[in-house]
Structure 1
Amino acid sequence: MKNSKPVIIGVTGGSGSGKTTVSEEIFNRLAGESMVMLPQDAYYNDQSDMDMEARKAVNYDHPDAFDTALLIKQLKQLIGGETIERPTYNYAEYNRSPETITIAPADIIIVEGILLFNNPELRDLLDIKIYVDTDDDIRFIRRMQRDVNERGRTIESVVNQYLATAKPMYHQFIEPTKRYADIILPEGGANKVGINMIEAQLRVILNAD
């Protein structure tokens, strides 16, 4: 890449929209390029001072659930050419893990998460903003499958959390940020035409003088 500043791509959408699939598709298509990925989920707050019941009661679909200041700080460090120690999150413990992942600077930085466009300072760091737009029913089914199969949750707990927090938070905090998107991508990873266009644009940027 001839540009000195990395290209920052933000991929957002509701839980289960397919934003992680889209991010991974872009990442895989540009294999061989200098790229890193930052999941916003890694930046959930450290809740070591809370007992398990209090952790479970947290609204994880609200902006306050994230350590956005740390995400902004580390993203700025990567932009500035510094290596970071990215946090990790343990879903079984509802808490940040003690382990970190070393992330070196790269030409392309993909940031993906449900609330990337909500914070103006974070939003302004994103060069390309992609909103993955998927029907509510599809998102709920995907969330159910993920949380039961990968995170050990019960069906009842997933339904209760979706109705109590995930659905209302989506309509309050996530869907309204669609207006900030440069690209609205319906159907997520299944939208091959849209992803082809994103890939082509990134290759133009990477090969720019």
Structure 2
Amino acid sequence: MLIIGIAGGTGCGKTTVVNTILKELPQDEVVVISQDSYYKDTTHLSYEERVKINFDHPRSIDFDLLVNHLNELRKGNTIQQPVYSFVQHNRTGDSVLTKPRKVIIVEGIL
């Protein structure tokens, strides 16, 4: 399994790079994991408190969960990738069933 990290600021071309890679690989051999899905759960905060969070700061990311999920995928296990809402500034409670693939692309600002 190959894990590729693509990082950079907003508008720097991450999506273009990811899409270029996706065009070159068979669809069933690659999966994209968005760092945005791993913003920390903030259900304990009010909406007013959540909108004040600096989501560009590394403390806003649940790296423990992200690393755990990548390790599980490397072991051949399926994960439940969190779904994040930019409207509510929080995880939705939903998840996306994510299966291991030959190539995993992790994309995000960090």
Does 1:85 find its partner at 2:106?
Answer: no
**Which structure's relative contact order is higher, taking Cα pairs within 8 Å and 6+ residues apart?**
2
Residue 33 of structure 1 and its aligned partner are, at CA, apart by: 4.9
Q: Find the counterpart in structure 2 of residue 23 from structure 1.
A: 18
CA RMSD in angstroms, aligned pairs only: 1.0
* Among 79, 98, 107, the residue aligned to 1:103: 98
Q: 1 or 2, which has the higher helix percentage?
A: 1
Secondary structure of the 2:64 match is helix
Of all paired residues, the percent bearing the same amino acid is 41
Q: Gaps spanning 5+ residues in structure 2: where?
A: none
Q: Which has the larger radius of gyration?
A: 1
Which amino acid in the other structure matches residue 71 of structure 1?
L
1:46-195 to 2 correspondences below 5 Å = 46-115=41-110
Give, in whole Å, the separation in 2 of the partners of 1:51 and 1:13.
29
Q: Find the counterpart in structure 2 of residue 128 from structure 1.
A: none
TM-score (norm 1): 0.51
TM-score (norm 2): 0.95
Q: Find the counterpart in structure 2 of residue 187 from structure 1.
A: none
Residue 32 of structure 1 and its aligned partner are, at CA, apart by: 4.0
1:35-50 to 2 correspondences below 5 Å = 35-50=30-45
Q: Once superposed, which parts of structure 1, at least 4 consecutive aligned residues long, lie more than 3 Å away? A: none
Secondary structure of the 1:69 match is helix
Give, in whole Å, the separation in 2 of the partners of 1:15 and 1:46.
22
Residue 20 of structure 1 and its aligned partner are, at CA, apart by: 1.9
Give, in whole Å, the separation in 2 of the partners of 1:74 and 1:33.
19
